[in-house]
Structure 1
Amino acid sequence: MCGIVGYVGRRDACPILIKGLHRLEYRGYDSAGVALVNPDGRLNVFKCKGKVSDLEHFLDGKDLGGNIGIAHTRWATHGVPNDANAHPHYSESENIALIHNGIIENYRVLKDALEQNGYTFRSSTDSEVLVNLIEYVRATSGCSLPEAVRQALRQVIGAYAIAVVEKGNHDRIVAARQSSPMVVGVGDGEFFLSSDAASIIEYTEDFVYVGDGEIAVIDRNAPLKIVTLDNHDAKIDIKKLQLSISQLEKGGYPHFMLKEIYEQPRTIVDCIRGRINPDTCEVKLSGVIDHRDRFVNARRIIFVACGTSWHASLIGEHLVESICRIPVEVEYASEFRYRNPIIREDDIVVAVSQSGETADTLAAVELARKAGAFVFGICNVVGSSIARATDSGAYIHVGPEIGVASTKAFTGQVTVMAMLALAVGRERGTVTEAYYNEVSAALLHLPETMEEVLKVAPQVADLAKIFTYAHNFIYLGRGYNYPTALEGALKLKEISYIHAEGYPAAEMKHGPIALIDAEMPTVAIATPDHTYEKTASNIEEIKARGGKIIAVIARGDEQVRRSADFVIEVPVIAECLMPIVVSVPLQLLAYYIAVYKGRNVDQPRNLAKSVTVE
């Protein structure tokens, strides 16, 4: 969602801030802005609705001097996207400027109190309320800016990552976080600030992750200082982050999404590296080895996730129940956290999130921990909030995912879930040696299988041209591939804006079949499994009603080919891993339809890469 960048040091701040904003564009936003403290102490704020490129045009001819500044990309929560609601926000006196990710839940109460004390507001945002509260605290108590921020935040209910600068101070940024990501990059006589380390990785590999309820005082003339809201010194732990700038570039592809689709053979290699012995096919996950008793004695496993991660978790449910024989529930994190769930100490809660910062999933983690459950995290971003809040976990190691529509993270999550199921199943003695070896060997060969399935891309690109003008799609699958149908429909919705729904194939007869006609294409996943014949019958039912069928089938399958209008052939591996293979042509179909419709594939409207607010 919203993005934060900050800099204080010896260099000109503005170019660093603008470059950082460009790195954060993938997160989704509707406006952008910068605040700079000039050498003479003036505090200048420049902001506008639109893209970072629009901000760059707006900055032409402006006074952009200064070695300190903060910058922001906004994803609207309170107030429509416009210039006034864009960040940074001035305080009423224009002595303080603030940028903010998150939501201040009690902003109306705070705003009413400030208005009673004579404050007026230029925007509709909760963020402007916070900057004026900081100014009010400072004016009434005569305290320093860091202390004013601390006292103000003690009155705030909600989630936030903020950065604050003030008129006349060339040296200091005050930043704070609660349930929203924030890192400080440590350089030589300079500091960088961001909501995502990827935006500033080219300047330093040394990072400090600001914790919940912590305030960072970033001064170029002093060591980094972090205090809690209770005014106690917090531990400063500098971590090294190894990330290549080339991973953040398109590498010759027209879009990040296409690049990330094609990266999947390599990312699967990175995901399984060191976890499956190529000689013995033995799966080793340190999170299972270190907590063997928890997994062996688990009464129940609960997956909590949102969006694509929820679809991956549905596949995880099949894997764990089939291989480990442990009851599994899959919950939307946003519902789980609010419905007073029953959580026992012998439950395991698996939190799944690409970014590791998803607000609802992070809240579910805290709920599970308070109930005494063991919490296992599956995420991509090293050092993220969920990675630090869980008892143990596994990174998916797929590298930065810039495209808003998740692709390689989905296949990485399912790969980790397959390894998790095998490792736990072996420890519990619930998986046969033959099946264990079959699936682990298939995982070892999965990168080659992914290379094979990517060869369908030209065919899918041609197919997409036919369906560019469809207004609705139905996706069908059964068993392991029902969640794949859901994920395929989500990809199409996200980037092409075509309405699409995924269903278990047998559920067609219970309502959705009423929608079938020649204008309603159906994508049917009919790869070999124990429900293959049933799925083939469902396809016949659609065909009998004039529906157009795109079938994803195994190579050489003639039965479904005869019924389908169009087919996409894929290689076959172990049934439980087929969702990983099948997802690739569905990703490509959504991508090419969106491209032909002229959509902004990497930054679809209204969406954010990392959903850090409720």
Structure 2
Amino acid sequence: MSGIVGYIGNRSAQEILIHCLTNLEYRGYDSAGLAISNGDHIEVRKEKGRIQDLEASLQLDTMQNGTLGIGHTRWASHGNPSAENSHPLTDEHEQFFVVHNGIIENYHVLKKELLSEGYSFKTDTDSEVIPHLLSKYNTGNFVETVRMVLPMLKGSFALVMMSALHPDMIIGISQENPLIVGFGESQAYLSSDISALLSYTKETYPIKNNEMAILTRDDIFIETVDGKQVHPDKVAIEWDEEEILLNDYDHFMLKEILEQPSSLKSTLNNRIKNKQVYLPEAELFFREHPYQQFRKIDIIGNGTSYHSGIIGKSIMDKLLSFPVEVSLSSEFTYEHGKLSEQHLVIVVSQSGETADSLTAIKEAKANGAKTIAITNNKRSNIARQADCIIPMNAGPEQAVAATKAYTSQITVLSLLAIHLCKKTEEPSPNFIKELIEAVQTLPEIVKQTLVMTEDAIDSFAQVTNDQTNLFLIGRGLDYVLALEGALKLQEVAYLHANAYAAGEVKHGTMALITPGVPVIALATQPHLKDKMVSNIRELKTRDGYVVGITNVGDDALTDVVDEIMYIPETHPLIMPIVAAIPLQLLAYYSGTVRGYNVDRPRNLAKSLTVE
């Protein structure tokens, strides 16, 4: 989950690398470092903490000027966060310098062998074996040395390397881990993500497995690990730099919450025409793999994507006659049932790089299942593995906590459910018509919700400032929404927020309800409203402080809660999109009122590229 960059050209490498790393900081912010070459010497600077800590250090004690360098922002997986464990890492003779994202699974064996041969290690990382191996097997030819060492490394990783012996070259490797080449005029870039490159180039190439990018002063070469030349098909970046700038916002999280009317509009763009769902990617896929071959759908994801998947399952359950299951991708890989060509596996991942989901999609394909990826990055590893990709088109998401990704994921799953239903079932025409109309109006409904709830939620966040525990309850889809709301509060406000199916509270959780403990009661599903009222009364008899969230015009909760918040009403199946807005805002304001950095929560990173 680290961010890695490389640059070679005619400008200040330090300036460019710092800027690129700042745009990658959501991938890790435990520590950061640079290695800069002036052609004669490579200087390394590393600091524990965020990019700004490294930048402050460089202002006090400047590095040498150079136009070639590599950089790293770290999320620690092996070795504590520290300056010593930071990258770039080098060998004892300071000949090879490496920045690494991923896991070297066999590093214990490699390290033991190197130690027995007299090599000494300065860090606790798995990554340090790489520069030592490059030193041990140095052939005098940088490219050939890398080719010799790569087969010794097991795991998923992206590497950017430079050598004091070859001062005008950078080598990049991608093995089940994202790494992108950026093409510029008389300069070239490497990055974990396109967001780092938006200021510098619009032409990129995602390095594929078993490929290496060789950047020199004169050219960029893409070759296979065994030496065959690759002619890269350059890909134009579709995002604009403006999309990753804070502008007048205090935090990316708030910016992205407020962007949801426009991100949903983008997700829906050209996908509903003449009151019909139009998914050309799915149409092509199902032309090759007829609907009739499928007997079951599995939806998999992690964290917020998993919650989106549960909502998607609920919608599909209402529209389709064959079974739909949802699983955590980290569990699915090892605990799935029988898979075959009759199974359709839908993988949901914002980044398209989540290691657990990538492993799961490979497992599904290895067992004959067909796969669809719903992701925000249509050139990601997961997208390349899938048989079909349906992009979310939500735009870049810089905050670690997913907000607009969640609402766009559910929207795409809703569209896919309708698409499948129209092809395979005999649905009620009026029901489908009403659902399509509701989905089409989502951008406006979400805009109204933001206007109605932002100030009220800010006030409630102030009320909960002195609380360490908070409960969220709901029934049906509202219970899933409660799970997502609890996750957001855990991520950015560090609250012990717990979600429960409202009917289950009396089966044990009621013991935790003490006078004044805050409970958020979600009641947006009409057929469950009476049951929710009964559950809320049970909480009030134990003096819980209950805040109800329900639809405008519905006063069923008014007399049984301490506070009530109204949100616009839409089709019940997509209320989890609308009702997510106040919960996202609650998490944001609860985090900021406590003084936390909600964009970069402790111990977390955005794109989890290790299992």
Give the TM bin, normalised by the shorter chain.
Answer: over 0.9
Equivalence for 1:260: 256
**How far is 1:403 from its partner?**
0.7
Q: Deviations over 1:477-516 (max 9, x none)?
A: 1112221110000000000001111121111122211111
- 2-structure distance, mates of 1:567, 1:62: 56
Is residue 11 from structure 1 mapped to residue 7 from structure 2 by the alignment? no
**How far is 1:529 from its partner?**
2.2
Is residue 192 from structure 1 mapped to residue 189 from structure 2 by the alignment? yes
Cα distance change of structure 1 residues 510 and 365 upon mapping to structure 2, 3 Å threshold: same
Give the aligned length: 607
Equivalence for 2:144: 147
CA contact (8 A) 1:37 1:168 kept: no
- 2-structure distance, mates of 1:501, 1:97: 45
Cα distance change of structure 1 residues 296 and 479 upon mapping to structure 2, 3 Å threshold: farther
Equivalence for 2:178: 181
Is residue 334 from structure 1 mapped to residue 345 from structure 2 by the alignment? no
**How far is 1:291 from its partner?**
2.6
SS in 2 for 1:553: strand
Equivalence for 1:82: 82
Paired residue type of 2:472: Y
Equivalence for 1:56: 55
- 1-structure distance, mates of 2:598, 2:292: 44
Equivalence for 2:277: 283
Paired residue type of 1:289: E
- 1-structure distance, mates of 2:146, 2:119: 18
Paired residue type of 1:559: A
CA contact (8 A) 2:27 2:74 kept: no
Q: Deviations over 1:230-285 (max 9, x none)?
A: 444345221111211110011211111101111001111101110001xx310011
CA contact (8 A) 1:302 1:331 kept: yes
CA contact (8 A) 1:43 1:168 kept: no
Equivalence for 2:566: 569
Paired residue type of 1:7: Y
5+ long unaligned stretches in structure 2: none
- 1-structure distance, mates of 2:220, 2:50: 35
Equivalence for 2:387: 391
Higher mean displacement: 235-244 or 387-396: 235-244
- 2-structure distance, mates of 1:588, 1:222: 48
Cα distance change of structure 1 residues 314 and 175 upon mapping to structure 2, 3 Å threshold: same
Question: For 1:368, which of 364, 368, 373 is the aligned residue?
Answer: 364
CA contact (8 A) 1:468 1:597 kept: yes
- 1-structure distance, mates of 2:291, 2:249: 42
Equivalence for 1:501: 498
- 2-structure distance, mates of 1:563, 1:235: 67
Paired residue type of 2:284: D
Is residue 95 from structure 1 mapped to residue 95 from structure 2 by the alignment? yes
Q: Could you tell me the percent identity over the aligned residues?
A: 39
Paired residue type of 2:191: S
- 1-structure distance, mates of 2:47, 2:328: 35
Paired residue type of 1:104: I
Q: Deviations over 1:100-151 (max 9, x none)?
A: 001111111100111111100111111111111121111xxx2522222222
CA contact (8 A) 1:185 1:192 kept: yes
SS in 2 for 1:592: helix
SS in 1 for 2:243: helix
- 2-structure distance, mates of 1:198, 1:160: 19
Equivalence for 2:41: 42
Paired residue type of 2:407: T
SS in 1 for 2:84: coil
CA contact (8 A) 1:171 1:221 kept: no
Equivalence for 1:424: 420
CA contact (8 A) 2:478 2:525 kept: no
**How far is 1:54 from its partner?**
1.1
- 2-structure distance, mates of 1:517, 1:295: 52
CA contact (8 A) 1:324 1:430 kept: no
Is residue 607 from structure 1 mapped to residue 604 from structure 2 by the alignment? yes
Is residue 531 from structure 1 mapped to residue 528 from structure 2 by the alignment? yes
Is residue 517 from structure 1 mapped to residue 514 from structure 2 by the alignment? yes
Paired residue type of 1:536: V
- 1-structure distance, mates of 2:292, 2:521: 37
- 2-structure distance, mates of 1:449, 1:554: 12
CA contact (8 A) 2:222 2:231 kept: no
SS in 2 for 1:523: strand
Paired residue type of 1:4: I
Equivalence for 2:70: 70
Higher mean displacement: 330-339 or 303-312: 330-339
5+ long unaligned stretches in structure 1: none
Q: Deviations over 1:537-560 (max 9, x none)?
A: 111111111111111111122221
Equivalence for 1:349: 345
- 2-structure distance, mates of 1:517, 1:86: 46
Higher mean displacement: 501-510 or 83-92: 501-510
**How far is 1:568 from its partner?**
1.1
Paired residue type of 1:119: Y
Question: For 2:313, which of 302, 305, 317 is the aligned residue?
Answer: 317
Paired residue type of 2:603: N
- 1-structure distance, mates of 2:93, 2:426: 68
Cα distance change of structure 1 residues 603 and 223 upon mapping to structure 2, 3 Å threshold: closer
**How far is 1:352 from its partner?**
0.4
Q: Deviations over 1:553-600 (max 9, x none)?
A: 111222211111111100110000000000000001111111100010
CA contact (8 A) 1:67 1:170 kept: no
**How far is 1:393 from its partner?**
2.2
SS in 1 for 2:569: coil
The residue correspondences of 1:540-555 to structure 2 (distance < 5 A) are 540-555=537-552
Paired residue type of 1:128: E
Q: Deviations over 1:315-350 (max 9, x none)?
A: 011011111222111111111112364211110000
- 2-structure distance, mates of 1:72, 1:209: 18
CA contact (8 A) 1:187 1:203 kept: yes
Cα-Cα RMSD: 1.3
**How far is 1:294 from its partner?**
3.6
Cα distance change of structure 1 residues 225 and 559 upon mapping to structure 2, 3 Å threshold: closer
Is residue 400 from structure 1 mapped to residue 403 from structure 2 by the alignment? no
- Tell me the TM-score normalised to structure 1 length: 0.97
SS in 2 for 1:82: coil
- 1-structure distance, mates of 2:110, 2:49: 29
- Tell me the TM-score normalised to structure 2 length: 0.97
Higher mean displacement: 319-328 or 494-503: 319-328
Q: Deviations over 1:161-219 (max 9, x none)?
A: 11110114332101111121100001112110000111012111111101122222112
**How far is 1:64 from its partner?**
2.5
Q: Deviations over 1:291-329 (max 9, x none)?
A: 335434310000111000000000011011111222111
Paired residue type of 1:325: S
Equivalence for 1:594: 591
Cα distance change of structure 1 residues 364 and 476 upon mapping to structure 2, 3 Å threshold: same
- 1-structure distance, mates of 2:210, 2:291: 32
CA contact (8 A) 2:282 2:390 kept: no
Equivalence for 1:118: 118
- 2-structure distance, mates of 1:520, 1:193: 50
Is residue 208 from structure 1 mapped to residue 202 from structure 2 by the alignment? no
Equivalence for 2:104: 104
Equivalence for 2:459: 462
- 1-structure distance, mates of 2:147, 2:536: 62
Q: Deviations over 1:436-485 (max 9, x none)?
A: 11010011111110111001101111111001111111111111222111
- 1-structure distance, mates of 2:128, 2:10: 29
CA contact (8 A) 1:303 1:349 kept: yes
- 2-structure distance, mates of 1:243, 1:433: 38
- 1-structure distance, mates of 2:432, 2:292: 17
Paired residue type of 2:253: M
Higher mean displacement: 171-180 or 402-411: 171-180
CA contact (8 A) 1:477 1:504 kept: yes
Question: For 1:560, which of 549, 557, 567 is the aligned residue?
Answer: 557
